[in-house]
Chains A and B, each alone.
Chain A
């Protein structure tokens, strides 16, 4: 006998593609602004996810916390966890208000890097 809880969906197969819309994971919330989480801003976990008992965390939240014990950029995190940038930004916002991650914005967003840094880049590229 078929499991009554699982209605048969013969029309659903791998070819159908994702059946959950991307922003379902954020309960439909969208990121307030892109500027807060630059693609190359570094995210770092500051506490274990179970250290925020008052907050309902989803599996994606836990995945983020465990993926950034070492600082990792927003864009690499999105790629590693296969989340779209927009979705990731919403989840990062949740984790940040819960105090579970910290964010280091790239210094270059406000001012261009100084000539010493540029020289180091050129030197590094030559040495590759």
Chain B
């Protein structure tokens, strides 16, 4: 899957992992704690859709800027992992479609104090069939809930991993990513076995 260049060297493979969850749950924090580069931002400038030209009533604002955080982890010279923090606002859902295209999987960050904030992300990935794990970001040592209790509260499909994590801690954040990649590998082995 690595393509050859004219001089015989190879273009690396880049994999995408999405970091989703409600506003302020620690998406950017997680990206920055595991990324080898300072999380970078890129912008998508959006026009107002089909009625973008109808500026008769509203003067001025016809574009909106969405910023996306992203980070990178170099696995080997030929293998890179990109992390994308998904835009939090509901009106940017359509951007998720682009981000999820070809994504390896997703981490849905949850805060047990505001569990409902991650429902939309979970619904989205379930509907799309994108594999995901739930990372319970343990703010202030708040470990009152076990992963099983969270899985039950979220009504997750059996097998979807739930892990406690601290998004600020590099090794903890890395463990969540490992959990996700292992889960994706398990799913692939199972579906290969079924064929």
Would A108 and B16 be within 8 Å (CB), given that A79-B42, A118-B185 are in contact?
yes
Chain B interface residue count, CB cutoff 8 Å, equals 44
Task: List CB contacts (< 8 Å) of B163-188 with chain A.
Answer: 174, 177-178, 181-182, 184-185, 188
Cα–Cα, bound, A96→B11 (Å): 17
Asked if B139 is at the interface of the complex by the 8 Å CB criterion, the answer is: no
Asked if B98 is at the interface of the complex by the 8 Å CB criterion, the answer is: yes
Asked if B65 is at the interface of the complex by the 8 Å CB criterion, the answer is: yes
Shortest distance from the beta carbon of A33 to any chain B beta carbon, whole Å: 10
Asked if B182 and A122 make an inter-chain contact with CB atoms under 8 angstroms apart, the answer reads yes
Chain A interface residue count, CB cutoff 8 Å, equals 41
Would A85 and B76 be within 8 Å (CB), given that A112-B104, A113-B13 are in contact?
no
Cα–Cα, bound, A108→B3 (Å): 13
Out of B45, B102, B181, name the residue touching A38 (CB < 8 Å). Answer: B102
Say which one of A7-15, A53-61, A69-77 lies at the interface with B. A69-77
Closest-by-CB residue of B relative to A123 is: B75
Asked if A44 and B11 make an inter-chain contact with CB atoms under 8 angstroms apart, the answer reads yes
The winner among A30, A35, A122, A126 for most chain B CB atoms within 10 A is: A122
The winner among A35, A39, A75, A110 for most chain B CB atoms within 10 A is: A39
Instruction: Collect the chain A residues with CB atoms within 8 Å of residue B80's CB.
Output: 40, 73
Asked if A120 and B76 make an inter-chain contact with CB atoms under 8 angstroms apart, the answer reads yes
Cα–Cα, bound, A51→B13 (Å): 29
Instruction: Collect the chain B residues with CB atoms within 8 Å of residue A109's CB.
Output: 101-102
Out of A23, A42, A113, A128, name the residue touching B11 (CB < 8 Å). Answer: A42
Cα–Cα, bound, A110→B72 (Å): 22
Cα–Cα, bound, A4→B34 (Å): 54
